[in-house]
Amino acid sequence: MTSDYGIAAMKARRATAEAATYPETLAALVDGAAAENGDTTLAKWLETGQTISYAEFAEASRKLASSLLAQGIRKGTHVAVMLPNVPAYPLTWVALGRIGAVMIPVNIHYTQQELKFVLTDADAQFLVIDDTALPALDGMAELPPLMDTSRIILHGGTREGTLDWDALLRDGAADFTAPSALSRTDMLNLQYTSGTTGFPKGCMLSHDYWVLLGSLAAHWRGAAGDVRNVLIWAPFNYMDPQWQFLMTMCLGGTAKIAPRISLSRAYDILVEEEIHYCIFPEPALKAWPEGEKDKALHLKYVSIFGWREDARREVERRFGCVARESFGMTEVGGALMVPEAAGEKAFERTCGLPTAFREVRIVDDSGTDVPRGEIGELWVAGRGILWGYYKRPQANAEGFSGRWFRTGDLFRQDDDGFFQIVGRIKDMIRRSGENIAAQEVEAVMNAMPGVIESAAVGVPEPGRGEEVKVYLLLADGKTPADIPPEAVIEHCAGRLAKFKTPRFIAYVDTFPRTVSNKIRKNAILPEGADPRAGSWDRVEGRWLPDEDKDAVAG
């Protein structure tokens, strides 16, 4: 009998998940986990070795909540949090959730201008800030309209006129009770998107969003076996560490929290901390040569995103774990997931099937469902997705069609019912009337031996609209002489249609990235620079001079 690729099993687990009862609020989830796990270690911060148990975490968050309440933070108060990956981050989040206040996560690396934008746009009334981030705050000529020095809570130091986070925690009362009733539909986070292509927008996310996201992540990942130790390496201002922390709670496990990702150190952390689950970066497979030490790993399940087929096979073969793709975004949380029992299907470039509480459609420009196999925009609906974008009526009008959220991502559904991402609508290269997904070109580039990572972009060209250009990051010890442009073009033959084959090729020593390690394509070149200069031109068969702005005519 032909395999159903785990579809039936996933439908059954989806039904189980949708029939389950979930905690009403973030605080209820934390208190339930503390009652069940008590003195079990909830988290360990790898940089300092500090640990905290489930019971200690619940009590500390209640104490902090009582002190924040005494300072005037109430239900609905907007509180910005600008902290690194330290215990204060999740404690502050849960404390605010206990009160019914709204957390605004802020990137610890923001400049003065970026910080002021978010504080002002989010109508922040309080700011919890680490002393290492004070230069960004001090650079402001004046505080945003709703801010005041007396409502700045400083972590990691003291300053006259501000509140001391450590003192607030120390002096709080452990018998805190919320003064206002809370429900699952109350807002918990005003979560800003990364803003790599423009000013970020604040997503209004409820308690239900986070409780479901963490609970369902545990529901799916826990099926892989006894998943207990979870590695969290991205900054807590992003959504991934937040749901991973809640997932760990739901699993009764221990979160091992690193300050940042480091490929050179990550392998040792995976072994020493006996990590069972993490989001695994594909470049690590090339950075770590296969060998006997692979047997020292304890991985049971890893999340992967956009990997090439041979890498998907390699990670499961080398590490004996389950590696599965999924699709989610800040606005909707989780939407698609590849079943654990997908078998050979898991090695294809697919994001899987709708997860619990999610409905999906693929539609054309008019909002009509496209036939299976054709490309269209993915729309998502279901329980707990974002309310909308804060103070963005135009973005809300454009981003929603009734109850459906328009993701801006292009997908197709295959004959087996699985959904495959083709690329972002805004990450499509338009050449002579043909749509080329940058992701498709990058997948072919990344599969080439000696190439660690790539970025495909469109270069304006009068005759064809755009031409494809790729930037290549080579493996350590490799140079363009080892992997010349001619070899790149040869590699594309049989893998890409000729119109998709890059015309321009360039090499980079590093890529500009967001803190979550995504390539910032709009920052690869300085603003106003000619994207063709210094590139190898396939059509002309030569390197273009750095300043030869007119070298390529229509």
What is the DSSP pairing of strand 152-155 with strand 126-130? parallel
Cα-based distances in Å from 64 to 389, 452, 495, 525: 29, 45, 57, 45
- 142-163: b (≥16 Cβ within 10 Å) or e: ebbeebeeebbbbbbeeeeebb
The confidence score (pLDDT) of residue 198 equals 52
User: Which DSSP helix (H) or strand (E) runs through 333?
Assistant: strand 333-337
**Cα–chain center distance at 89:** 18
pLDDT at 518 over 80: no
- 20-34: b (≥16 Cβ within 10 Å) or e: eebbbbbbbbbbbbb
Mean pLDDT of the chain: 91
The confidence score (pLDDT) of residue 194 equals 60
d(CA 38, CA 4): 41
The domains found in the chain, sorted by start residue, are: 23-37+53-207 (3.40.50.12780), 432-543 (3.30.300.30)
What single-letter DSSP state applies at residue 223?
G
Q: Look up residue 372 and give its two tokens.
A: 């299976």
Select, from the ranges 122-126, 433-437, 476-480, the one with the highest average predicted confidence (pLDDT): 122-126
The confidence score (pLDDT) of residue 196 equals 39
Identify which of 331, 330, 337, 314 has the alpha carbon closest to the alpha carbon of residue 218.
337
Contact 65, 95 (CB under 8 A): yes
Min mean pLDDT across 6-20, 23-37, 66-80, 103-117 is at 103-117
d(CA 398, CA 393): 9
Q: In the sheet that 78-82 helps form, which strands lie side by side, from edge to edge?
A: 163-164, 152-155, 126-130, 78-82, 102-105, 187-192, 202-206
d(CA 501, CA 497): 6
First to last CA, the chain: 56
Q: In the sheet that 504-508 helps form, which strands lie side by side, from edge to edge?
A: 451-461, 465-474, 504-508, 536-537, 542-543
Contact 425, 409 (CB under 8 A): yes
The confidence score (pLDDT) of residue 440 equals 80
The confidence score (pLDDT) of residue 551 equals 39
Min mean pLDDT across 84-98, 190-204, 235-249, 445-459 is at 190-204
The string of pLDDT tens digits covering residues 496-509 is 878 889 999 999 99
Q: Is the dihedral of CA 532, 536, 542, 546 positive or negative?
A: positive
Cα-based distances in Å from 46 to 150, 265, 269, 517, 540: 33, 12, 9, 20, 52
Q: Look up residue 356 and give its two tokens.
A: 């619990």
**Cα–chain center distance at 214:** 14
Identify which of 328, 329, 327, 326 has the alpha carbon closest to the alpha carbon of residue 340.
326
Work out the average pLDDT over 104-131. 94
d(CA 47, CA 155): 17
**Residue matched to tokens 């509140």:** 163
State pTM to two decimals.
0.83
**Residue matched to tokens 């709708």:** 354
Work out the average pLDDT over 376-383. 97
- 306-339: b (≥16 Cβ within 10 Å) or e: ebbeebbebbbebbebbbbbbbbbbbbbbbbbbb
User: Which DSSP helix (H) or strand (E) runs through 253?
Assistant: none
526's CB contacts (< 8 A; 6+ apart) are none
Identify which of 233, 307, 215, 310 has the alpha carbon closest to the alpha carbon of residue 270.
233
What single-letter DSSP state applies at residue 158?
-
The confidence score (pLDDT) of residue 509 equals 93
Identify which of 386, 314, 382, 381 has the alpha carbon closest to the alpha carbon of residue 346.
314
What is the DSSP pairing of strand 542-543 with strand 404-413? unpaired
Phi then psi dihedrals of residue 27, to 5 deg: -60, -40
Cα 381–331–312 angle (5° rounding)?
Answer: 90
Residue type, 319: F
d(CA 383, CA 402): 14
Min mean pLDDT across 195-209, 322-336, 371-385, 535-549 is at 195-209
Select, from the ranges 108-117, 208-217, 463-472, the one with the highest average predicted confidence (pLDDT): 208-217
- What percent of the chain shows pLDDT beyond 70? 95
pLDDT at 493 over 70: yes
The string of pLDDT tens digits covering residues 304-339 is 988 888 999 999 999 999 999 999 999 999 999 999
Q: How many other CB atoms are found less than 10 A from the CB of residue 188?
A: 26
User: Which DSSP helix (H) or strand (E) runs through 59?
Assistant: helix 54-70
Select, from the ranges 203-217, 429-443, 539-553, the one with the highest average predicted confidence (pLDDT): 203-217
Residues in the chain: 554
Q: Look up residue 450 and give its two tokens.
A: 């000696």
**Residue matched to tokens 């479901």:** 212
d(CA 290, CA 310): 14
Work out the average pLDDT over 28-42. 98
Q: How many other CB atoms are found less than 10 A from the CB of residue 138?
A: 8
More confident residue, 387 or 263: 387
- 361-375: b (≥16 Cβ within 10 Å) or e: bbbeeeeeebeeeeb
- 66-85: b (≥16 Cβ within 10 Å) or e: bbbbeeebebebbbbbbbbb
More confident residue, 221 or 403: 403
Give the confidence band of 550 by pLDDT, cuts at 50, 70, 90: very low
pLDDT at 437 over 80: no
